[in-house]
Structure 1
Amino acid sequence: MLLHPTTCGERDLIAAARTTTDPDDRAAARIVLAQGRLFAPKPWPATGAPRRGSPAHCFANAMRVAHRTGGAYVEGFVLAAGRLRRHAWCAQADGAVLDPTWPRGETPQAYLGVPMAPWFVNTFQQRTLTKTCFPGVLDARVQAERDADRIYRDGVPAAALLDLGTPVPPETGSWPATPWRQLCAAREHVPRVAEAIGSADRRRAARPGRCQCPVPGCDP
């Protein structure tokens, strides 16, 4: 896939992710810069799209829309009003952004995130007991307390990555990026949409993650 010239917003987003000093964002940014893709901002469709989600629940909202549309769950960062914000959204087969959480009439300057197959996120939620209160795959607290830093250490598995969006230009930091042809080959062996992984109720005590959408109570 050819690299397109990045926009000013995309360049600023990449720079902000590379230089963030937020301890809760640094490890996630390392993964996103290595395995993530750039996505062009797009307004929510006027018709034909699933219902939008509740504010402050971008991770769960993105998963719901990914299941409904057969798209990818994308987790990473956006740049809005010059600020780096953790966020999640859905991406369609053509790379179009479906963001069910960001307020109508407002669009981030740029999106940068890791496009994951919904079946993998379902498996992650089961493994970490975070389905009821989902703070994201890259949440620092979940990684430390419930996943033994598995994603921070090894990255998102190649079989779970979807070839959507635009590759990040070179100089993505020290994390070794996985060749995308390897990811595409692995992707042929996994389903396009999420599998049913079980419906038994479990006791979950995960703390809410930081959805940083610009709505009251959403960006502490």
Structure 2
Amino acid sequence: MPLHVAQIAVLLRPLQLVADLAEMQAPVETRTWRFRSFEALLLQHGRIFTAPATEHAADFRGRNGRCYHNAAELSDASGHAYVEGVAGASPFPVGVQHAWCVDRNSQVLEPTWPTDQPRIYFGMPVTAAFRRTVSHPALLHHHEAGRALLRHGLPAGAQVDVGEPVSTMLQ
């Protein structure tokens, strides 16, 4: 099912609102940081992915409620890109924080959620090697490695070139 601009906008609108608020209300000590919020980082580096029904389910299936752990485990075992961001069910995707993997062909490998309905995923794909440098199960959270991403952005070579940049989808 092709994505419509309206579906993408519904998923991204809350991220943009939070990023705008964080920019306006940035504490003085963060004014030199590259990003004032994880939402701004995600909007800069995020890519759109879709997962039609069960076609691209991962062979690995982890426990519910542990998406960051499950995606990290799948990424480590397979070398697939680890992706963190938001995802929602189509046709009205209200995004929730989530983690998953993608293969070289930009196909979602969903290690946590059931794959019985189309979904829209928006996330930042990084290499398995980069993801392993973060000791916490999630990248986009307030721990030292997460704050380093806000201060400096993604290190060179950390992002994987898969998925569709939002700019090309909204043209």
TM-score higher than 0.5: yes
The residue number in structure 1 matching 2:125 is 115
The residue number in structure 2 matching 1:102 is 113
Structure 2 CA distance for aligned equivalents of residues 71 and 42 of structure 1: 19
The residue number in structure 2 matching 1:32 is 42
Structure 2 CA distance for aligned equivalents of residues 100 and 85 of structure 1: 16
Within 5 Å, which residues of 2 pair with 1:45-194? 45=55, 49-80=58-89, 82-108=93-119, 110-125=120-135, 130=136, 134=137, 136-140=138-142, 142=143, 146-147=144-145, 149-169=147-167
Which sections of structure 1, spanning at least 5 residues, go unmatched? Answer: 171-220
Which sections of structure 2, spanning at least 5 residues, go unmatched? Answer: 23-35
SS state of the match for residue 74, structure 1? strand
The residue number in structure 2 matching 1:18 is 16
Task: Report the TM-score, using the length of structure 1 for normalisation.
Answer: 0.60
Shift of 1:11: 2.2
Shift of 1:84: 2.4
2:83, 2:101 within 8 Å by CA — same for their partners in 1? yes
Task: Report the TM-score, using the length of structure 2 for normalisation.
Answer: 0.75
Residues 147 and 66 of structure 1: is their aligned pair in 2 closer, same or farther, counting only changes over 3 Å? closer
Residues 168 and 53 of structure 1: is their aligned pair in 2 closer, same or farther, counting only changes over 3 Å? same
Shift of 1:40: 1.4
Q: CA-atom RMSD, angstroms?
A: 2.7
Offset from partner CA, 1:1-22 (integer Å, 9 cap, x none): xxx9754322211222212489
Q: Structure 1 vs Structure 2: percent identity of aligned residues?
A: 29
